[in-house]
Structure 1
């Protein structure tokens, strides 16, 4: 008899292909310009409530049957947009409702094994949707499935190649400053220490729907604005790092009941944006970017700086770069890869 685990993987692949195909279909039933709404007023009301009502799909950037998500590039009002659709995890609190209130359609029965297509009630069948609009080419590249390369960056390479690249790009951090200044997402902040030197705000990452702690994911964003990455950290920043670690752990325990022994606290190198921020995830959750080639445990960072104040200015660092990353191109031009 076939391995039930292998059978389930095949079923998940099939479900994801169906999910993908549905996403790629024309959206006539959701698009006013293709006939939805009897009047212009109806269409205006629909589009005011649904930012995606005029979304036109250009390409599927990537998709994952295992993670139940898909990343779509398209246009909204003629401007680039990226839409991320993710099937939300099943919550044990509503498990009884799912089992008792859903409709079942038999697909296969063999001895003690049977499979069904389950149609859950609409309110229990959500798809978490993230919209990046207007999206830049950097956003589109970020979500496109690509080959990765491991970069070996010496201290000299950082000063001669990486740092000039960062300075040339002038990556916008306005969205970060909007959070720090309470101009956006103020209602999402879980905890804040307002101290300008050691303070930070703690809020949920967009990857987490906040409905269960199994995939808990929060970000601590420092109020200090002159630290771009690990490379800038020295003994001067130890009070800040310790404060983020301890108060972040305390806040998560008080709010979500997870002790520090169940938390993974780390920094990325290279980071996705050049402003000091720290990731807090549940230890058992295989969060994106938590692999050894990119994640640096905050506890290790603190100990390394305690042992050598200039540790991150002198050592060689490794990090993965995607095939279309501009920084990878710079290293190739210099014959480093």
Structure 2
């Protein structure tokens, strides 16, 4: 599932314990309006529509093939021959229902921001100087009604408390660690966790100085230790990074398997935590002053602000 946004509308999920079947399907009454985006390579599709007169976005993703179910998959599936030529043959494999899952994410009620997020659009690379951040980006962020209440709900244990795998409660250097919705927790190769800091005065990389080094080093050491202990993945097999621009403006760190090509892990958006620590050790004002590049979609209001300022 794609990363949650600032506007505070959370994915609506049936009120059942994890693993239980839901008798109240939020998609049975889903009326399709349009396809926002689809990707054959990633085997997913993003759909805009309505659930009981409320705007909704439904994301369908084919579940990965798991090593622990391969034998059952091959033995219990039905094969329909499509083509045979010498040593080569292709089939349509009809797997049993429990081995043919489609991960379904429902965002309802969905805001215009959600719909735009998943709509395929042109993307532009913006190079933001420290001055641009203060005169263009920060005023734009401050003018928007971005809510991170869902983040506060997690930190205050009002929501998703059962998903937290580790917490350091220290108000200055502490954080909670929990699986990202992109990870189904079935394959270590797709491991993806998010560390959300308890501090509420740090929005992004731009706010970090050497004062925050104890927080960052604590995040790295305890996050990596927890993941190695819980999932058997050593630090040498992890990609630990910030997004800039972030999807929501409350400092958080991404922990992903090095084998997983996670959305947003490319050089135009990801900043390794280890690099951030070294940069701040060398220069406390590094992220206040240096230029940072990041992608913006064609409909992003911040892109318009950069154009109006003559920066594009």
Of residues 311, 315, 323, the one that matches 2:298 is 323
Separation in structure 2 between the aligned mates of residue 195 and residue 74 of structure 1, nearest angstrom: 43
Distance 2:63 2:219 in 1: 29
The equivalent residue for 1:89 is: 64
Of 53, 69, 77, which residue of structure 1 is paired with 2:28?
53
- TM-score norm. by structure 1 comes to 0.85
Is 2:258 the counterpart of 1:286?
no
Q: What is the CA distance between 1:170 and its match in structure 2?
A: 2.4
Shift of 1:131: 1.0
- Structure number with greater CO (CA < 8 Å, separation at least 6) is 2
Tell me the alpha carbon deviations over residues 254-299 of structure 1, each in whole angstroms, 9 at most, x when there is no partner.
0110000000000000000000000000112111000001000000
By percentage of residues, which structure has more helix?
1
1:150 matches 2:125: yes
2:223 corresponds to 1:223? no
Distance 1:266 1:170 in 2: 26
Match in the other structure for 1:120: 95
Could you list the runs of 5+ residues in structure 1 that have no partner in the other structure?
Answer: 1-45
Counterparts of residues 15-164 of structure 1 (less than 5 Å):
49-164=24-139
1:246 shift after superposition: 0.7
Computing the radius of gyration over CA atoms, which structure comes out larger, 1 or 2?
1
Aligned equivalent of 1:308: 283
Superimposed CA distance per residue, residues 230-265 of structure 1 (whole angstroms, 9 cap, x where no aligned partner): 000011111111111110000000011000000000
Name which of 149, 153, 167 aligns with 2:142: 167
Aligned-pair RMSD on alpha carbons? 1.2
Deviations 1:36-78 (A, max 9, x none): xxxxxxxxxx995201121111111111111000111111121
Q: Distance in 2 between matches of 1:172 and 1:98?
A: 44
Corresponding residue for residue 43 of structure 1? none
Distance 1:48 1:253 in 2: 37
Stretches (4+) displaced over 6 A: none
Partner of 2:234: 259
The question of 1:193 aligning with 2:168 is answered: yes
Secondary structure (helix, strand or coil) at the match of 1:258 reads coil
1:90-129 CA distances to partner (integer Å, 9 max, x unpaired)? 1110100000000110011111010110011111110011
SS of aligned partner of 1:214:
helix
Partners of 1:330 and 1:131 in 2: CA distance? 31
5+ residue gaps, structure 2, are: 1-20
Number of the residue aligned with 1:37:
none
In structure 2, how many angstroms separate the alpha carbons of the residues matched to 1:47 and 1:335? 52
How many equivalent residue pairs?
A: 292
Q: Aligned partners of 2:197 and 2:55: how far apart in 1?
A: 30
TM-score (structure 2 length as normaliser): 0.92
What do residues 191-235 of structure 1 show as CA deviations (whole Å, max 9, x unaligned)? Answer: 111111111111111111110101111100011111111000011
* 2:183 is the alignment partner of 1:208: yes
**Other-structure match for 1:232:** 207
Task: Verify the 8 A CA contact 1:47 1:53 in the aligned structure 2.
Answer: no
